[in-house]
Every structure is written in structure tokens, then in C-alpha cells.
A and B are shown apart, each in its own frame.
Chain A
């Protein structure tokens, strides 16, 4: 009895700020390690945009131009958007859906892990894979497509695309909270592929059918692509603020949906 009472009274319950930061970083480190070791994920998320770029930007149309911008330069922005979107959606949604549906998230929730460390790790993972896609696209474009960008332009392009990882990570959370562990990849593609096409990520915006062009104006990937295109002097030169506003609002909506899913989980039976 006395042992037990002693244990109860000397409980150490506070956590310092530096300890909390260390947990966030460790969570992100292992999230990255976990995903890097999953070759299927790494290869598919990174290689698809690169393959598209090589085919349509370097092999087929490398001497063409779109509205005064060379095709290889233009397509870095659009396939960059495509890659960021894929890395962010798959980086959050598929892992979350599996962790939720198969009980692992409950083990984490029962522990003293700060809840946001889990989401932070997924967002960081998405951003790192997004950065890998964008950098590889640039390397390919500069090496084989005659792409010439100044350092500020390159920095702005990378910065815009990486910031764009956040709305799609939020979208991934929303999907991850409602999709089943096995159906998640299919559900992601159900959004990912049509959104990519309709936003002008595969076929440049001006070549899309009129109806699709009108739809595009309401789609978040269109706005991210326009931001990215703007940094290399291409695109439709609309108000930058509008693009950011749309992406910001979209992020909030997705987080709201994710929150609903989180609350729904509290009353749900697993296994």
C-alpha cells in the first residue's frame, strides 16, 4: 500500500515547452522514416508527376510555348501543383484512414502525445515530399528543358507550392476522417484526378473546354497553379490575393470537416 501511495504522490505531470517541441520533431522524424521505408508510397507520389513532366514537357513539347512562357517552364508550375497535391493528399489521408480504422490512432490518443503532434507530423511529411517533387521537376527542367529561372523566381515558385501543401494536407485530413482504411486510396483518387484535370494541371487552362474553364475558377488546385504560374511570369495574372483567399477559405472548410470527423469518432465502436 505504501509503495502505491508513494507512486501516486510523486507523479510528474508537467511538460516543458522544449519537451513539447522535441515530441513534435520526433513524431515528424518517425513519420518520415516510416513513409520513406514504404517504397510504394515514396515512388508513386514522387514518380507520377515526374513521368508526366518528362513525357509532356520534355519529350513532346519542349520547344513550344504557352502565352510566351516555354512549355517546360509552364509545366513545372502545373505538374508541381499536381505533385504537391498528390504528396499532401496521400501523405495525410491514407495514413490517417488506416490509423483510425485499424485502432492505432486510439493507442496514440490514449497516450500523452500532444494531439497536434500527430497532425503536425503528417503536414511536415506532406511538405517534405512536396519539396522533393518540386525540386526534382526543377532539376529535370533546368537540365533537359532549357528552363532558366532567376534565384528569386525559383525561391518564390518553391515557396508558393510548399505553402500550397497545407490546404491539401487539410483536405487529406478531411478525407482521412471519413474514408475507410482500405477505400482511402480510391477515395483520394476520386477527388485528386478530376480536380487535377479540371484545374488545368494536365492540360493547360486555355486548352480546356469552356465549361471546364468555368468550373476551374471554383477549384482550389486552379488557384494554387495560378499562384505558381505567376511566379514564373505565366498564368492569367489575376489578383494574387484572391488566390490566397480561396486557398485559405478552403483550408478552413477542410479543417472544419476534419473536426466533425474527429468528434464523430469519439462515439464510435472499433473492432
Chain B
């Protein structure tokens, strides 16, 4: 075909820069009337990565996705996808989106919906493959209105992937689904990641971000308040909790490198540390009589709640 790299300077650039951005928001502000949806929002999704925008409802996740899809325009700042304007026809061809939808035409069959959306793209995936990845083989001939909640979400997922896009936006893909349906959709998403697709997903399920994402951006009140790998996000609020009975007093404990916090809890002490091993080594060396040692993970959920709470305390309404 005549239209390859020559008509695609952005693709050329990306080709040469490993880890280049597929999608970015640069100091974006977006208000809806008096409501501030995003404030000085800066964010980048890298090539071949799964990035999760994690935050409570109303944090601005959906707004970020809509800006990157060119469905809305920023008040200030820039939204770029593949180095170009998100609304460009070239970008539309390379992007798939699963959005939160109130009503989908109910009288069309699953297969018909997919066939229509596939027709928009130049190189769609074969129908059988779309149905397989989305797990819809058994319900392909059903009308959308006759589907269960999980099947409806999977149909929307199928519409997002049918064009074999390089970048996939998933806005709260598993909201309202039961555990089984959620896991089925996760499997579908992982299959795409294995094919080298970049994925940007929004969720308020911490477990979902932890299970799927290479990188998480925690969002609260329209700003990114923390960013990193799931492990880094966890470590930001003290990655491990160490509990033990010891003669060492609290002040001494707090001076041990790696200890974030220590407090007395009945007869034991509770220590928060970035990493458990060096701290435990020191503890055992200083107090051979130490007993009742327990080490637990500070979960992502805990990390997330701590981050959001700290952020809310910093900026009272």
C-alpha cells in the first residue's frame, strides 16, 4: 500500500524512541461549568503498557479518557495520541474505546453490532477471533437486549477491539460485573496485551488495577496524586507491616533505617516499613528475646485509601 510510513511521520518517530508515549495529557484543565474535572493534569501512557487510572468516582478518570478520544476538548493544555490530535481520522483508525453506555441499540444482534463496527476499520480482526477473545461465541446470534450484564460488557469490549487497534481505552470495563464475569473480561484484556497493544484503563477497583496494570496513576479531585508500578504505589505508604513483641522502645525503633512509623498496640508494637527484611534483621540483632513476629503486606487498597485521604486532608474543600 502506498500509505505506510511516508504518510505517518509520528509512527516513524515512535518507532525510533523506545518507551515513547502513545497518549499524553499535558497540563490539561477541564471544567464543566463550575465543576473542576481536571486541574493541571499531566499524564503519559507508554507504548505496549497497560496503564490504569485509579480513583474514586468523580475523580476525573472518564474526563481524561474522553479528552484522549477527542470527544471533548480541554479548556487549556494539550491532549495527544500517537503524537497527533486525538480527533484525527488516522488516530480514530488506530484506537478502540469501551465507554460507559446507558443504552445500546437492543434490537441488533451481537454479530451485527460487531460487523458494523468492524466495517469502519481498514484491517479489522476476523469475526471468529473477535468473538473468541471477547468470549461471545455462544451468544453471537442473540439480540443485545437479551444479553446479561457481563455479556453486554463483553460486546462493548468486542466493539473496542474489532478494528485491531494499537491503543485501547477501557473506561470502567468491569463496573457492576460479578467476579466471574470480571475475570473473563480480564482474560480478554490480557490476550490483547500479549499481542503488544497499549491499554489505558480506568477503574475504581484496586484489585483490577493491581491485576492488569504495569503502571498506575492514582487520581483524586482531577489531579494525579501518585504514579508508579503497583509495587511502588504500595511502598509509598509503607509497603510492609511488621508486628512483634520487643523490649526495644519506640524512639529507638523509629531510628532504624527503613522504618516509616512505629506505634504501640497493646503488648506488641506495629512497625510500618518500606521493606521488611533489613528491618527485621536489625530487630533480631538488637533484641534476641523478640517474639510473636508477624509480617503482612500493606495492600494496594490500603495504599490507595491512604493516598486519597492524605490528598483530601491537604486540600480541604
Q: Please measure, in the bound complex, the distance between the C-alpha atom of A98 and the C-alpha atom of B169, giving whole angstroms.
A: 23
Residues of B within 8 A of A4 (CB): 47-48, 166, 196-198
Q: Please measure, in the bound complex, the distance between the C-alpha atom of A1 and the C-alpha atom of B19, giving whole angstroms.
A: 8
Residues of A within 8 A of B101 (CB): 102-104, 106-107
Of the listed stretches B68-76, B263-271, B272-280, B305-313, chain A binds: B68-76
| B156 with A107: CB separation less than 8 A | yes
Residues of A within 8 A of B66 (CB): 106
Residues of B within 8 A of A26 (CB): 115-116, 119
Of the listed stretches B4-12, B205-213, B281-289, chain A binds: B4-12
The answer to whether the Cβ of A240 comes within 8 Å of any Cβ in the partner chain is: no
| A11 with B94: CB separation less than 8 A | yes
Q: Please measure, in the bound complex, the distance between the C-alpha atom of A26 and the C-alpha atom of B121, giving whole angstroms.
A: 13
Residues of B within 8 A of A106 (CB): 66, 71, 99, 101
The answer to whether the Cβ of A37 comes within 8 Å of any Cβ in the partner chain is: yes
Task: Count B-side interface residues using an 8 Å CB cutoff.
Answer: 63
| A11 with B11: CB separation less than 8 A | yes
Residues of A within 8 A of B19 (CB): 1
Q: Please measure, in the bound complex, the distance between the C-alpha atom of A27 and the C-alpha atom of B115, giving whole angstroms.
A: 10
From A11, A110, A114, B69 is in contact (CB under 8 Å) with A110
Q: Please measure, in the bound complex, the distance between the C-alpha atom of A14 and the C-alpha atom of B122, giving whole angstroms.
A: 7
User: CB-CB contacts of B76-110 with A at 8 A, as 1s and 0s?
Assistant: 00000010000001101111110111111101100
| B32 with A13: CB separation less than 8 A | no
Of the listed stretches A15-23, A54-62, A202-210, chain B binds: A15-23
| B71 with A12: CB separation less than 8 A | no
Residue on B nearest A29 in the bound complex, by CB: B116
| B8 with A9: CB separation less than 8 A | yes
Q: Please measure, in the bound complex, the distance between the C-alpha atom of A112 and the C-alpha atom of B93, giving whole angstroms.
A: 5
Residue on A nearest B33 in the bound complex, by CB: A269
The answer to whether the Cβ of A5 comes within 8 Å of any Cβ in the partner chain is: yes
The answer to whether the Cβ of A48 comes within 8 Å of any Cβ in the partner chain is: no
Residues of B within 8 A of A107 (CB): 97, 99, 101, 104, 156, 159
Least CB distance from B84 to A in Å reads 11
Q: Please measure, in the bound complex, the distance between the C-alpha atom of A12 and the C-alpha atom of B92, giving whole angstroms.
A: 11
The answer to whether the Cβ of A111 comes within 8 Å of any Cβ in the partner chain is: yes
Least CB distance from B31 to A in Å reads 9
Least CB distance from B273 to A in Å reads 34
Least CB distance from A43 to B in Å reads 14
| A12 with B1: CB separation less than 8 A | yes
Least CB distance from B145 to A in Å reads 10
Inter-chain CB contacts under 8 Å: number: 149
| B198 with A12: CB separation less than 8 A | no
| B62 with A271: CB separation less than 8 A | yes
Task: Count A-side interface residues using an 8 Å CB cutoff.
Answer: 43
Least CB distance from B207 to A in Å reads 23
Given A26-B119, A102-B102, A266-B72: A8 in contact with B93 (beta carbons within 8 A): no
The answer to whether the Cβ of B140 comes within 8 Å of any Cβ in the partner chain is: no
Residues of B within 8 A of A33 (CB): 107-108, 112
User: CB-CB contacts of B36-51 with A at 8 A, as 1s and 0s?
Assistant: 0100000000011000
| B116 with A30: CB separation less than 8 A | yes
| A112 with B99: CB separation less than 8 A | no
From B35, B47, B102, B116, A101 is in contact (CB under 8 Å) with B102
Q: Please measure, in the bound complex, the distance between the C-alpha atom of A102 and the C-alpha atom of B66, giving whole angstroms.
A: 15
| A1 with B1: CB separation less than 8 A | no
| A5 with B15: CB separation less than 8 A | yes
The answer to whether the Cβ of A7 comes within 8 Å of any Cβ in the partner chain is: yes
| B90 with A13: CB separation less than 8 A | yes
Q: Please measure, in the bound complex, the distance between the C-alpha atom of A5 and the C-alpha atom of B13, giving whole angstroms.
A: 10
| B116 with A12: CB separation less than 8 A | no
| A8 with B15: CB separation less than 8 A | yes
Residues of A within 8 A of B138 (CB): none
Q: Please measure, in the bound complex, the distance between the C-alpha atom of A22 and the C-alpha atom of B159, giving whole angstroms.
A: 18
Given A4-B196, A110-B69, A110-B97: A13 in contact with B3 (beta carbons within 8 A): yes
The answer to whether the Cβ of A139 comes within 8 Å of any Cβ in the partner chain is: no
Q: Please measure, in the bound complex, the distance between the C-alpha atom of A221 and the C-alpha atom of B101, giving whole angstroms.
A: 36
Given A13-B90, A22-B119, A37-B107: A110 in contact with B95 (beta carbons within 8 A): yes
Task: List 30 A-B residue pairs with CB atoms under 8 Å apart, sorted by A's residue number.
Answer: A3-B196, A4-B47, A5-B18, A8-B11, A9-B8, A10-B4, A13-B122, A14-B122, A23-B120, A26-B115, A26-B116, A33-B112, A34-B105, A34-B107, A38-B107, A101-B102, A102-B101, A102-B102, A103-B103, A104-B103, A104-B104, A107-B159, A110-B99, A110-B169, A111-B120, A112-B93, A267-B32, A267-B73, A271-B62, A271-B100
**6 tightest Cβ-Cβ pairs between the two chains A and B:** A102-B102, A3-B196, A37-B107, A4-B48, A102-B103, A112-B92
9 additional contacts (CB under 8 A) given A106-B66, A114-B120: A4-B48, A6-B196, A9-B15, A12-B123, A13-B3, A13-B90, A110-B70, A110-B95, A111-B96
